[in-house]
Amino acid sequence: MLDYRSRSVLVTGGTKGIGLAIGLAFGRRGAQVYLTQKWGSADADALAAQFAAVGAPAPVVLDADVAHDDDATAVMDAIGARHAKLDALISNVAFAPLVTSLADYTRRGLATAMDYSAFPVVAYTRAAHARFASYPRYVLALSSMGHETYHINYDIIAAAKAALETICRYLNHRLREHGTRVNVLRTRFTSTESLRATIGEAFEPFVERHAPGLFTTPEMIAEAAFGLCSGLMDGVGGQVVTIDRGAMVTDNFSRLYDERAALPPIGDDA
Amino acid sequence: MRLYDGKVVLVTGGTMGIGLATALAFGRHGAQTVITHRWGSADENEVIEQFVRAEAPEPLIVEADILRSEDTTKLFATIRQQYGRLDALISNASAAVTVQSLDDLTERAFLRSMRATAWPTVEYTLAAKRELGAYPKYVIVMSSDGPDRFTPAYDFVACGKAAVETLAKYLAYRLRGEGVCVNVVRSRAIKTDAFTSTFGAEFHGFLRQFVPEEWFMSAAEVGDAAFALCSGMFDAMTGQVLMVDRGNTFADGISLIFEGQR
């Protein structure tokens, strides 16, 4: 099962960040990887080169807006041209308006967040079944910790992630008779463009300076994503797996206090 | 070349049930396993035969009682002499007094249960450093959903599991600078001898009114998950509790039964 040759894997939002890292993790085990993007912004040659560099088959890049069901159907048709089924679906795309104050909360913003960040895992799972008459063996959704603990500017997206995790538990239950495993993979801080866009450039160096070891790389998340679809984790279903280098337990004032003698004082960042 | 060729893995209570399945999972990937048991309870030849069938290196079977610290020291001295290293510790063995009624809730039984359920993980982790000079890269604790949800007779087991899960999180913090990953694997409803002896043979038949036979988990599923956590794919995961139940716990309740009746 650690060998994914001749298998098909779809990663939504797979042309950068965690999505791309997951695509590469499957690709280097031989999978044919399909990556979606919304704005046609990816450089297909550069992506192909990254896959070639790890010995992976060239990925297929598809334009798709995850909130449009027609796009999901077109994606499955593109996969169906070469494969009899979709083996693994990685639902990675998330989008929501940022919130800096209560004034930024809008009904429409929350609806958009749900549309782009919570529902696509259902839409794509169903689209796969409509095209192939079978569900993917593995469905994995990417989440974060913003609904468990305060994340800067994250209010609305956090609400959508809470919904996503809940939907995945139910989805796992509903698909168990089909042998499908639905799980969620989440992290606290991962070094990506998306995080920089949400909180700004200064955050990661600040964390590294004052609470080192809390950031994960996209590759760390990707290895775990592959692990959950490797066959070794088939006993795991309907779970939320946190890959955060222990941050869930140790990112708090108590840790900062405990380590204060060894780390630069906060406020000393000019 | 297999992933665990040349590596050494210790599984406490490794001659049956989940422990044995976990040892076999590592063995299949080339690991030299050291498996412990108590009282000479195991039929060693039968255990070894299973490793042969799995094309795994023959395990070293050692008698070691988790309640006796002198056994722990002796065990790690043996590992030092034979192999000089330990790459993963699977803390699986535990023991606790079962509780049928309030009369069984005694301080003595509570303390013994905590000692035998929560302490061995800490003792074995520290012993590895003391006797071998290094912590294992991976520490996995076997637990169950008992701390969160009612399980018959399980009062003290559940307390011990809650405590060991908490200790695992703190160990993850204290060992963070050493590159050690400490995680907990929870499982439930596996038809092992321990399941039958804890809950009685009747429980299985009772459950079968509501769920198909496939609902029951196999020990191998749990063993594979424990191996995956030690495979390198989950090296950014530490201080976590992973439920290995295919989602069964989520659906376990009167709602599911009601739905089935309709």
| A178 in reach of chain B (CB within 8 A) | no
Minimum Cα–Cα distance from A166: chain B residue: B250
Among residues B138, B131, B139, B132, the alpha carbon closest in space to that of B69 is found at B131
* Contact between B224 and A224 using a beta-carbon 8 Å cutoff: no
Q: Are A243 and B228 in contact (CB under 8 A)?
A: no
**For A104-159, what is each residue's pLDDT tens digit?**
999 999 999 999 999 999 999 999 999 999 999 999 999 999 999 999 999 999 99
User: In this complex, which of B173, B224, B250 lies closest to A235 when CB atoms are compared?
Assistant: B224
> Contact B239/A255, CB-based, under 8 Å?
no
Mean pLDDT of A72-98: 96
Contact A181, A172 (CB under 8 A): yes
CA distance A71 to chain B (A): 30
pLDDT per position as a tens digit, B125-168: 999 999 999 999 999 999 999 999 998 889 999 999 999 999 99
Euclidean distance between CA atoms A63 and A48, whole angstroms: 16
**Whole-Å CA distances, B167 to A78, A107, A249, B6, B242:** 50, 43, 12, 30, 15
Contacts with A182 from chain B: Cβ below 8 Å: 247
Q: Do A216 and B236 touch (CB under 8 A)?
A: yes
Question: Is residue B42's pLDDT more than 80?
Answer: no
* Chain B residues closer than 8 Å to A217 by CB: 236
Three-state secondary structure call for residue B87? coil
- What residues of chain B lie within 8 A of the CB of A213, using their CB? 176
Put simply, the answer to whether B246 touches A181 (Cβ < 8 Å) is yes
Hey, of B237, B242, B245, B256, which one would you mutate to test binding to chain A, going by the most A CBs within 10 A of its CB?
A: B237
Q: Which residue of B has its CA nearest to A245?
A: B236
pLDDT of residue A269: 64
| Sign of the alpha-carbon torsion through A218, B225, B180, B239 | positive
List the single best residue of A215, A216, A234, A258 to mutate versus B (max B Cβ within 10 A): A234
Residues of A with CB below 8 A from B170's CB? Answer: 249
Residue numbers in B near A230 (CB within 8 A): 228, 233
Who's near B214: CB < 8 A, 6+ residues apart?
A: none
Of A172, A213, A232, the CB nearest to B176: A213
The ipTM value here is 0.89
How many alpha carbons fall within 13 Å on the CB side of residue B65? 7
B203-262 residues touching A, CB cutoff 8 A: 217-218, 221-222, 224-225, 227-228, 231-240, 242-247, 250-251
B174 at interface of A, judged by CB pairs closer than 8 A: no
Per-residue pLDDT at B40? 66
Question: B186 to chain A: nearest residue by CA?
Answer: A236
Nearest-CA distance B108 → chain A (Å) = 32
Q: Say which DSSP state B94 is in.
A: -
Residues of A in contact with B218 (CB under 8 A): 235
Contacts of B88 (CB under 8 A, 6+ apart): B7, B9, B10, B26, B31, B136, B137, B138, B139, B140, B230
Tell me the residue type at B60. L
Among candidates B172, B232, B243 on the partner chain, residue whose Cβ is nearest the Cβ of A246: B172
Q: What DSSP character marks residue B75?
A: H
Inter-residue contact B131 to B73 (CB < 8 Å): yes
Tell me which residue of A92, A193, A212 sits closest to A144, measured CA to CA: A92
Please give, one letter per residue, the 3-state secondary structure of chain A: CCCCCCCEEEECCCCCHHHHHHHHHHHCCCCEEEEEECCCCCCHHHHHHHHHHCCCCCCEEEECCCCCHHHHHHHHHHHHCCCCCCCEEEECCCCCCCCCCHHHCCHHHHHHHHHHHHCHHHHHHHHHHHHHCCCCCEEEEEEECCCCCCCCCCHHHHHHHHHHHHHHHHHHHHHHHHCCEEEEEEECEECCHHHHHHHCCCHHHHHHHHCCCCEECHHHHHHHHHHHCCCCCCCCCCCEEECCCCHHHHCCHHHHHHCCCCCCCCCCCC
Q: Give A239's contacts in chain B (Cβ within 8 Å).
A: 242-243, 247
d(CA B114, CA B235): 29
Q: Which residues of B touch A242 (CB under 8 A)?
A: 237, 240
Residues 6+ apart with CB under 8 A from B86: B8, B9, B10, B76, B79, B128, B132, B134, B136
Residues of A in contact with B224 (CB under 8 A): 231-235
Q: What is the pLDDT of residue B62?
A: 96
pTM of the model: 0.93
Query: Could you report the per-residue pLDDT of B193-243, keeping only the tens digit for each?
Result: 777 776 777 888 888 888 888 888 999 999 999 999 999 999 999 999 999
Range with lowest mean pLDDT among A120-129, A228-237, B13-22, B39-48: B39-48
The residues, any chain, with a CB within 8 Å of residue B232's CB and separated by 6 or more, are: A223, B3
pLDDT digits (tens, 9 = 90+) for A215-264: 999 999 999 999 999 999 999 999 999 999 999 988 999 889 988 899 98
Residues counted in chain B: 262
Which chain A residue has the Cα nearest residue B217?
A: A235
Does the CB of A237 have a partner CB in chain B at under 8 Å?
A: yes
B239: which chain A residues are within 8 Å (Cβ-Cβ)? 246, 248-250
